[in-house]
Amino acid sequence: MTDAKQQLIDFISADAVFHGDFTLTSGKKATYYVDLRKVSLDHRVAPLIGQVMLDVIADVVDVSAVGGMTMGADPIATAILHQGAARGLSYDAFVVRKEPKDHGRGRQVEGPELQGKRVIVLEDTSTTGGSPLAAIEALLKVGAEIAAVAVVVDRNTGARERIEAAGYPYLAAIGLDDLGLS
């Protein structure tokens, strides 16, 4: 395990894991909640997320851009963009809205032109895989090629199976075991 990954696990464990009774986006109940925005928007942790996620996606070839559904994927994508630039890599970032805008250019996918480009769909914490699949649907409409789905924290609640059943590689940086939650 890299030092950056261990530091990231420590920050997530200390600052982003909450215990109690929670209802997840999926409607499922949980006794803990991983609120990755508590750390993904933290100046100390965002660079670690970028470093760790760059390592996770390093073997995926010819990727032009990274991103996913707004809000969770946004800080992950920008962390990768900035840490990638620091390593001499050129990943752009994109944002997928839940619905196309009803004004301006009416776009659902914001950022660089993605037609014909290989992209990685990101998610902060994965439960069912619904958010990445929704992002994929929008990205396919603009002609992007989906290279993989990559998540920071996998809750091990079916997202991997659902994403892989849809035909996409699934990559996760941190699992529940890493956080002492399994």
The structure's pTM equals 0.94
pLDDT attached to residue 105: 63
Q: Domain for residue 138, yes or no?
A: yes
87 against 101, higher pLDDT: 87
Give the tens place of pLDDT for each residue, 114-172: 999 999 999 999 989 999 999 999 999 999 999 999 999 999 989 999 999 999 999 99
Q: Domain for residue 163, yes or no?
A: yes
Q: Domain for residue 128, yes or no?
A: yes
The CATH number given to whatever domain includes residue 99 is 3.40.50.2020
Q: Domain for residue 171, yes or no?
A: yes
pLDDT attached to residue 67: 98
Residue 101 has pLDDT above 80, yes or no: no
Count of beta carbons in the 10 Å neighbourhood of residue 157: 17
Q: Domain for residue 166, yes or no?
A: yes
Residue 106 has pLDDT above 70, yes or no: no
- Domain range for 126 is 51-179
pLDDT attached to residue 132: 97
Residue with tokens 């840490």: 83
Q: Domain for residue 6, yes or no?
A: no
Task: Report the 3 state secondary structure along the chain.
Answer: CCHHHHHHHHHHHHHCEEEEEEECCCCCEEEEEECCHHHHCCCCCHHHHHHHHHHHHCCCCCEEEEEEECCCHHHHHHHHHHHHHHCCCCCEEEEECCCCCCCCCCCCEECCCCCCCEEEEEEEEECCCHHHHHHHHHHHHCCCEEEEEEEEEECCCCHHHHHHHCCCCEEEEEEHHHHCCC
Q: Domain for residue 164, yes or no?
A: yes
pLDDT attached to residue 1: 78
pLDDT attached to residue 28: 81
pLDDT attached to residue 104: 61
Give the tens place of pLDDT for each residue, 11-63: 999 999 999 999 887 788 889 999 999 999 999 999 999 999 999 999 999 99
Q: Domain for residue 46, yes or no?
A: no
Q: Tell me how many domains the chain contains.
A: 1
